[in-house]
Amino acid sequence: MLYARVSSKDQEKEGLSIPAQQRLLREYATTKGLIIKQEFLDVETARRAGRTAFGELLAYLKKHPRTILLVEKTDRLYRNIKDWATLDEFGVTIHFVKENVIISPDAKSADQFLHGIKVLMARNYSQNLGEETLKGMTEKARAGIYPSAASTGYQNTAGPNDKRIIIPDPTEAPVITELFNLFGTGNYSLKSLAMHLRERGIFLGGRKVYVSALHHILRRKLYNGTFDFNGTTYAGTHTPLTTKETFDSVQRILDQRKEHQTKAIRRDFPFTGLVTCGHCGCAMVAELKIKKKTKRTYVYYHCTGHRGKCPEPYTRQEALIDEFASTLGDLIIPDPILDWLSQEVNKTDQTQTGARELTIKRLEAERSRIQHRLSTLYDDRLDNRITATLYDEKAHTLQAQQEELERARTRPRNRPGPAHHGPRHRPHDQQRLHGLPRPERGRAAPTPDRRPQGSHMERRGIAYNAARTVRTTPTLEPRNSNKTQWEWWVRTAF
């Protein structure tokens, strides 16, 4: 295999062009009696991993291990440690022709050590070159010269001291000025302005103007005489294409429209994630329909068809509610267990009430103690035992403590007790509050074989998951009346 790479035009001028590398490597292969099966050529920097031809080379070497690779020298192949480690794992034999070095899995440790130093030196050279380039571009920006390639509406040219500067493009600059003036009137949206330019046959950069490109242009500070570089704003020496007042007006219009931008409303449907299609097993999703004449809204559920087109029709949400209500109506807690639950809840309320009464007594005692200290402090001030400043400081501290105790004493309870807020709702009442039918008191749940067959949901091929709707067991009648078993069930269900 042959690999050649250049990263800039300057390297081509120095004799490091790809044809020069190919000629050298082909002559070497002829001398050594090697046959070149394939050539990989890159015109990209080797500082970072991910070069196009280099990636193809790695894929080839992965399928064909023990391959011989011809390269001009170390920095032509890699300048980062990741690529070096990858090639080392593949067990490739690499001939560095100019360096007269062959690195293979069987190479001596001294040769591999020197090769590793060359890789680090190439990496350091690349990093140092990047730092020096950034330093030069920063100095250029501080001098007010735009340090990068010209944006739309400008073109690069040679300036004083052979420095590259930007000047207005005679064709595109008037278009940029017109864009700011038109949008600054407030009579155009981004979409209408882009359409206006397309109707007039105006192009920028040889392309049609679309909304995204137009928004990018209107946000660029470069057109008002300033520019951003490396996180800092600099005042440029180039010719602005719009005034600062027009630019600021455009920014205000864009910001105001962004604030009033509406977003799609996300609706939460009750059975989302709970229902699956009985035909193909895909999830059922909800869809809101509005009848034009009456303006009434209806919610339908249908299969996503993720595994292919599903023949099942749409299902109304009311049908799902009936099926879920029928299933939940079969779950009945016997009266003895309800009475036991009520007693346990009352015991808990009594315990909490007693604890709160003790807390209130403690707070009252602390409040009385602070009040006594305030009275003593007042007497000391009347007798001139303390200064007015000391009295104000101590009184302020004690009054703050007193207010905090008062807030703690009058703070409402986390959960209202039955003695003050009426009877507690039972599970049957909760079912009625949620629109579910209340089962008859004391009746056992129907057995599975007594349930109606061929229900509406089964005919439509819908499989529903009632276990995800309520945290309980399928049948609530215990095998025996052991209270311990019911205690375990209550902890699990509630």
Where residue 27 falls among pLDDT bands split at 50, 70, 90? very high
Find out whether 104 and 88 touch, Cβ atoms under 8 Å: no
Residue 247 has pLDDT above 90, yes or no: yes
Helix (DSSP H) and strand (DSSP E) numbers for the chain: 17, 16
Residue type, 355: A
Class for the domain spanning 2-139:
alpha beta
**Domain ranges for the chain:** 2-139, 154-259, 335-444
CA angle 72, 77, 79 (to 5 degrees): 130
The average confidence (pLDDT) of the chain is 78
> How high is the pLDDT of residue 455?
40
Model confidence, pTM: 0.43
Residue 393 has pLDDT above 80, yes or no: yes
Express each pLDDT in 189-209 by its tens digit.
899 999 988 888 888 888 888
SS3 of residue 462 by DSSP: strand
**Architecture in CATH of 154-259:** Alpha-Beta Complex (3.90)
CA angle 414, 419, 423 (to 5 degrees): 90
Residues 6+ apart with CB under 8 A from 428: 438, 439, 441
What is the C-alpha separation between 342 and 202, in angstroms, rounded?
79
Q: Which residue has the higher pLDDT, 306 or 456?
A: 306
> How high is the pLDDT of residue 177?
93
Mean pLDDT of 179-184: 92
Express each pLDDT in 62-102 by its tens digit.
888 778 999 998 888 887 888 888 888 888 899 999 989 99
The first and second tokens of residue 162, run together, are 């052979």
Residue 440 has pLDDT above 70, yes or no: no
Mean pLDDT of 303-330: 85
Residues forming beta bridges with residue 56, ordered by sequence position: none
